[in-house]
Structure 1
Amino acid sequence: MKDITEILKTKSSLPLAKRTVLNVSLTSINFKDGILSVLKSYEISLEQFNVLRILRGKNGEPSNLKDIQDRMISKMSNTTRLVDKLILKNYVERFICEKNRRKVDIYITKEGLKLLDILDPIIDKKEKELTSNLNTDELETLNLLLTKMRG
């Protein structure tokens, strides 16, 4: 297992805070790349996958763009564009209220649910693979520390 200084090919000693930020950033990128490698063959982005999981969590109840945006992991995502792309793929439906055109209800379709049924076990396996170097206690500790870092 390579230390961050070996990965960066630097001879200089990095301050602990910088080493920590770089390690967390690199690990985040590795995790994202690992999950994307699974999603790529299904022609779906990580953000689109996240939207589908949010909508599934509504258990048949409608959602709206603000609710989806509030629940997104990446707050920088363009939720309208993500929903539009999922509509084109027939994974999501959007209904505009006739009485109040500003009210838009968004639902996951049967096709969207089927895709998640396929992806869930594959993503679970990938997540276990990505965290396999740590035991359960280490993972619990890491989660506590990461939560603490986010303040």
Structure 2
Amino acid sequence: MKIEDAIKQNKFDNQVEKGIVNIIYTYTWLRDAHANILKPYGILMQHFNILRILRGAHPKSMCPGEIKEVMLDKGNDVTRLIDKLVSLGLAERKLCETNRRKMDVDITKEGLDLTQKISDELAIISASIGERISTKEVIELNDLLDKIRD
């Protein structure tokens, strides 16, 4: 669906403004689709992002600062997000063995299992998108999005 139809607006100051609106609208569409998958598990996209980061580092631990550094949404309270994951048994926090002032965070077996389960469900969204745009178009889209942030 064209952005003009989706937001019932045909007037844009220029194509750059239209592109920005389109990116924001598409982000919101993707966020909502992900939220629907995550909701039954009682976690938000930010929690899932941390789980994926911890899974990528596994079996090594990460400190909260390292996690925040690579999060997609850096504007969140990482400590609060980690607290929730710990309370759900998806992550664990312990004192660093080499620096007693530092906390280490690890993903648990339950966290690994849930991250894989959710990743499998999210793959359906990716596959659906992959049916509408080619690999070449995805590469071009990635290149263009990278170029916007340069």
Give TM-score, length-normalised by structure 2: 0.91
- Conserved? CA contact 1:94–1:105, under 8 Å: yes
* Other-structure match for 1:137: 136
Deviation at 1:32, TM superposition (A): 1.0
**SS at 1:95 equivalent:** strand
Verify the 8 A CA contact 1:31 1:130 in the aligned structure 2: no
d(CA) in 2 for partners of 1:149, 1:133: 23
- For 2:97 and 2:10, the matched residues in 1 are separated by 65
Structure-2 residue corresponding to 1:125: 124
Partner of 1:73: 72
Q: How does 1:1-150 map to 2 (within 5 A)?
A: 1=1, 3-97=2-96, 100-150=99-149
Task: Judge conservation of contact 2:90–2:110 (CA < 8 Å) in 1.
Answer: yes
Write the distance in 1 (CA, Å) between the matches of 2:66 and 2:98.
Answer: 21
- The answer as to whether partners of 2:91 and 2:106 remain within 8 angstroms in 1 is yes
Root-mean-square deviation (CA, aligned residues, Å) is 1.7
The CA distance in 1 between the partners of 2:12 and 2:30, in whole Å, is 26
- 5+ residue gaps, structure 1, are none
Structure 2 CA distance, aligned partners of 1:63 and 1:94? 10
CA–CA separation in structure 1 for the residues paired with 2:125 and 2:9: 31
Identity level (%): 34
- Tell me the amino acid that sits aligned with residue 112 of structure 2: L
The runs of at least 4 aligned residues of structure 1 exceeding 2 Å deviation read 3-14, 96-102
